[in-house]
Amino acid sequence: MSALRQILTSAPSTHSVDTDGPTLLSSLADLHSLKPAYRRLRVDLSGQRLAPHVCPAELEDGSLIVLCTPEYGRSDPLAAIKEAVRRAQPALDTRVVMITPTLLLTLEREHIDAGGLRARTDNGTGSRDRSAVRGAFTDIIRWALAHAASDIHLNLALREVESQVSFTIMGRYLHPSRWRMPTARLQDMANVVWMDVSGGTGAVFDPRTEQQGRLHEVVDGVPVMLRWASLAIDAGASVCLRLLRLDKTASDVTLESLGYLPSQVALLRRAQNSEGGAIILSGVVGSGKSTTIARLLADLPDSRKPITLEDPVETAIPNALQSTVSRPLTGGENPFGAKLRTVKRSAMTDLLVGEIRDQETALAWMDLVSSGTNVYTTVHVGGAALIPERLASDFLGVSRDLLATPGVLKLLVYQALLPRLCNCALPFSNLFAGGQSLDGRHHDGDHWHAYADRIRRLYQVDTSGLRVRNSEGCGHCRNPDLPTLNGFAGRTVVAEMIEPSLDVHMLRAIREGDALQLMTLAASQRAATFDSPEMQGKSAMECAVYKALMGEIDPREIEPRFQAFETVERSRRQAT
């Protein structure tokens, strides 16, 4: 007898779950709550197309249960089952068990001939099974959309019985227990879904190799694209699916709603209005760079002709001519470089190159930026002052002389996203009775008094406005599925900006490859206190400190993204 069968037939509890109840079975352990005691009852369900949402099943004692995903709790198929049961045995009150789609799929795939669970299926063909797998995958996307996930991770642990579907939500890598499932089921899902991937490398999903491609879905009327990137690992494979909503446009946000402060918005506008040169945004993966650039292009007047070359197009820009140009994972002809060479004859005024990530792209960028075109692009690097070094690296090979030419690098931007506090946030002083740091360690009140005092000394500011996350949340932010996100209301940009052409010494530092000098020169332009919204000369960490002082960010969220306040203090002490 399988482990699943043993759970269903030997559970000691007599508790049953009704459709109106709050309980949702999300793991095999949850099934211990089931032990129906009905007589053997056969229900004719021929012609019903129920999977993967409704599944009637018999246990070995002849009792009947109806397994149902939450969204089908009051559906016509469920009503049809209950009516069939009522006609067969009027005395029985049919009981329904709410269950997650992936667990229901697991139960249905446990085909048992005798003495256990009998899951009723449409027929013996593979089409229904594929439909069930596809339906479970759709439910994963539905859940990801409902929780504003940026990425879905199918982590196949081929040496383990179970594997985990994880999600990136608000920049956090989270592992909801409801999306843990048998490894065989998750591998089936990856195999089935890969069959619908376009531009994929390989005819079938192979966990032993790196593969990439794109997948288009429509979930509850919402069109989405998933960018597939699988990584072969010792334990199996990790498939990362970047989730992009195709119904979202650059017009849905503003620079201000993203979190840019007035002085930063003014600088961005000033840079994009001048002809020629490059605006370059940097940051880690998932820091919102593409969203910011899309908004900048959307704000261009109708007299400008913006063209984008992206891999893939992530955000619809109403006034831009957008083009998806896929680049190969390894080797082969690179169509991106060819497209860049062709686009020069398109008479555009503004060009977005999604990312400079190889020498071919870098060489084409050099040609375009020196031809008088406004060029927007992104690079992955950890600070605005490091952008020239990344471009001039051996890997990309951009000429330092070109980078140091006045007007070529119009604006260097580094941005990060930090969780924005909900209105239910608590005063920082609540920690003075003792509280946890982000790593879960508990500290006494003296620690938090010293913490606040260090911020006050470092930045010469009043720290009375500091607030911290309310872990209990409120009606606006409470998330039963993801309690670690209670107390947050989205994310906000923190950014730093450098205009190299403002100072000949900055251009000299770029030519000489002195990123530290460039950083020092940029900081020397600061003219406002750290509790002022004027951001000229301030780093992204100092921008985050300002937002923490305004009660928008939990100060404990700043250190993991940048560095510990104690490290800043020691650095300043050594510098003097």
The rounded mean pLDDT for the chain is 83
Q: Are residues 187 and 267 in the same domain?
A: no
Domain membership flag for residue 480 = no
Q: Give residue 49's pLDDT.
A: 43
Q: Are residues 265 and 234 in the same domain?
A: no
Q: Give residue 117's pLDDT.
A: 37
Q: Are residues 50 and 176 in the same domain?
A: no
Last residue of a domain, one of 348, 383, 418: 418
Query: CATH number, domain at 313?
Result: 3.40.50.300
Q: Are residues 226 and 341 in the same domain?
A: no
Domain membership flag for residue 132 = yes
Q: Which amino acid is at 469?
A: R
Q: Are residues 397 and 294 in the same domain?
A: yes
Query: Which tens digit of pLDDT belongs to each residue from 369-424?
Result: 888 889 999 999 999 999 999 999 999 999 999 999 999 999 999 999 999 999 99
Count how many domains the chain has: 4
Q: Are residues 88 and 190 in the same domain?
A: no
Domain membership flag for residue 497 = no
Q: Are residues 384 and 357 in the same domain?
A: yes
Report whether 460 contacts 394 (CB < 8 A). no
Q: What is the dihedral of CA 504, 505, 511, 517, to 10 degrees?
A: -150
Cα→Cα distances 498→268, 271, 354, 504, 547, Å = 11, 11, 21, 13, 20
Q: Are residues 433 and 570 in the same domain?
A: yes
Q: Is the previous residue joined to 52 through a cis bond, with omega within 30 degrees of 0?
A: yes
Which residue ranges in the chain fall short of pLDDT 50?
A: 1-22, 32-51, 110-125
Strand 442-443 and strand 435-436: the pairing is antiparallel
Q: What residue ranges in 78-179 does DSSP mark as E strands?
A: 96-98, 118-119, 149-157, 162-169, 172-174
Query: CATH number, domain at 178?
Result: 3.30.450.90
Q: Give residue 329's pLDDT.
A: 55
Q: Are residues 285 and 413 in the same domain?
A: yes
Q: Are residues 336 and 357 in the same domain?
A: yes
Q: Give residue 255's pLDDT.
A: 96
Dig out the tokens for 341 from the structure: 């060479």
Q: Give residue 297's pLDDT.
A: 94
What's the rounded Cα separation, in Å, for the pair 269 and 564? 33
Domain membership flag for residue 511 = no
- Domain extent, residue 132, equals 128-245
Q: Are residues 258 and 360 in the same domain?
A: yes
Domain membership flag for residue 495 = no
Q: What is the pTM of this model?
A: 0.79
What's the rounded Cα separation, in Å, for the pair 373 and 348? 8
Query: Which tens digit of pLDDT belongs to each residue from 506-526?
Result: 999 999 999 999 999 999 999
Q: Give residue 88's pLDDT.
A: 63
What's the rounded Cα separation, in Å, for the pair 444 and 488? 24
Report whether 519 contacts 248 (CB < 8 A). no
Report whether 424 contacts 538 (CB < 8 A). no
Domain membership flag for residue 401 = yes
What's the rounded Cα separation, in Å, for the pair 556 and 442? 13
Q: Give residue 459's pLDDT.
A: 97
Dig out the tokens for 103 from the structure: 């667990």
- CB burial of 270-284 (b: ≥16 within 10 Å; e: otherwise) equals ebbeeeebbbbbbbe
Q: Give residue 348's pLDDT.
A: 87
Q: Give residue 392's pLDDT.
A: 96
